[in-house]
Amino acid sequence: MTTVLTRSPLARTWVRDPWAPQSAVAEGPVPAADVYREGEDLVARLDLPGVDPVDDITVEVEGRKLVVRGERKDQRSEESEGRRISEVRFGSFRRTVTLPRTVDGDAVRASYDAGVLTVTVPGVFAGTTPQRIEVTTAA
């Protein structure tokens, strides 16, 4: 007998993709992401263990958006004995990061190592130095 424990479909309505519009609900597994500024570059690191980077991941620039999409395929054999507890989520995923300005897609670099996809968008923060605005008070 095989027992597979999964999350309730109702739970999807509570877990939202922080990079998606507020009205969007995650349809499938959403990989954990760490997005940060490194100098003038934007770096996005996504946890994608068990994914074939050549066949199952697509990285695109759509206007001012960096879009990572793909699919984590279930490679398990259904011929197992006993109980099984599975917390691994399978299916299609999509993560979108809004960029501060449009970029040339040819400059974007993506690499995959040890289950982590690292996407670097060079120079996207160039010329975006914060400008301090003086606050005045009514006398």
CB 4, CB 86: distance < 8 Å: yes
Higher-confidence position of 72 and 101: 101
Q: Which residues pair with 59 in a beta bridge?
A: 68
CB 41, CB 123: distance < 8 Å: yes
CB 50, CB 56: distance < 8 Å: no
106: amino acid identity, one letter: D
What is the structure's pLDDT at 77?
Answer: 63
Say whether pTM exceeds 0.85: no
For tokens 């050549």, the residue is: 54
| Mean of all residue pLDDT scores within the chain | 79
